[in-house]
Structure formats: structure tokens, C-alpha cells
Amino acid sequence: MDIFEYISVLTSIIIGLGIAHLLRGVASLVQHPGRHRIYWVHLVWVAYMFFNMAFWWWWQFNLGKLEIWYFPNYLFVLLYAVVLYLACALLFPSDMDDYAGFEDFFISRRGWFFGLLATSNIIDLYDTWLKGAEHFDNAGTPYLVLTVANFSAAVIAAITPNRTYHAFLAIAALAYQVQWALSFTFVMG
């Protein structure tokens, strides 16, 4: 086992737990239809986070190029995975007793969810740099502009309860994430 394989085990577990949390939440909606009112915007964010987690795990393969790992960098990558896991965990609470449905829950917890998404955008800047100066330079100005736009959109979403804004942002975020990921030709190994 090389260094990267060893280091990626724990992050893979954390990302897997996030995906499992999302899948368990969706399975619960299927198993108990009608128990709680579903909010389609919430489900779009569930799809976004599922895709984001899977794509994050794939993209971290680029860290395998690092020959030397320092403990702070390892902790940083762990922190990134934990932030993404917590965002997933916030989409499905352990119980819904205090909420009228998923719309009520989502809007009441938007500050935490979008705060974590905003944080993940800031963390991604260092993560991109960690993969090497050439990698960061290749990302270019569009990456920096998009990161600032994503951060700003998440901060606004954390503050506003406007359902139209949340619906637009959810659709735009999912569409962009899928389009961006599929615009690359990825081959591992």
C-alpha cells in the first residue's frame, strides 16, 4: 500500500458514510411515503450532494501525485471530507418530529447547510492548490470566478428563506455540477 492509498482510506470511509446517509434518507422516503411532506428542492440538493460526494472521491485521486504528505495536509483533506459529510447529514435529520415536512426542515436548517457548502468552496481552493501549482494554474480564472460565485450564492442561500431563490440555486447547482464533471474525460490509472 502506498502513502496515498493509506491516507485515502479514512477519507473514503467518511465520504462513504455521507453517501450512505443520503441513500438511507431516500430509502426512508420510499419505505414510508406520505409520512413527511416531501420538498422537491430538498431532493435536488440530495441529488447534488450525492453527485458531489461521488465526484469529490473521484477527483481526490489527483492527490496520488503527491510524493510527500505532511500531517497538516492530511488533516486538511480529512476536514474537507468531514465538511461534506456534515452537509449530507443535515439533509436528513434523525427525526422529523419538530417539523411540518422537509420544506420546513430544510428552510430552518439552511444556515447550517449552506454555511457548510460555502466553507467547502473555500476549502476547495487549498485542495486545488495542494494538488500542485500546475494543477491550480490549469484551473485558471474561470475556477476562481466560479468558486467566488458559489461561495456568494451559498452565503445568500444561508441568509434568505426565499423559496424561489432556493429552487433556482438548487437546479443551477446540480446542472452545473453534472455538466462540469461530464465535460472531463476521466480515466484512472
Domain-located, residue 103 = yes
Domain-located, residue 169 = yes
pLDDT digits (tens, 9 = 90+) for 85-139: 999 999 999 989 899 999 999 999 999 999 999 999 999 888 888 877 887 788 7
Domain-located, residue 178 = yes
Q: What is the pLDDT of residue 155?
A: 98
Average pLDDT over residues 171-187: 82
pLDDT at 185 over 80: no
Residue showing cell 470511509: 13
Q: What are phi and psi of 161, to 5 degrees?
A: -90, 10
Separation CA 117–CA 158 (nearest Å): 9
Q: What is the pLDDT of residue 188?
A: 56
pLDDT digits (tens, 9 = 90+) for 121-133: 999 888 888 877 8
**For the whole model, what pTM was predicted?**
0.90
Domain-located, residue 189 = no
Domain-located, residue 52 = yes
Separation CA 48–CA 171 (nearest Å): 9
Domain count, the chain: 1
Domain-located, residue 10 = yes
Domain that holds residue 85: 3-182
Residue in 61, 49, 58, 109 with CA at minimum distance from that of residue 85: 49
CB atoms within 10 A of CB 179: 9
pLDDT at 76 over 60: yes
Separation CA 167–CA 172 (nearest Å): 9
Contacts of 68 (CB under 8 A, 6+ apart): none
User: Using 50, 70 and 90 to split pLDDT, how confident is the model at 182?
Assistant: confident
pLDDT at 186 over 70: no
Domain-located, residue 188 = no
What DSSP state is assigned to residue 67? S
pLDDT digits (tens, 9 = 90+) for 23-38: 999 999 999 988 899 9
Domain-located, residue 187 = no
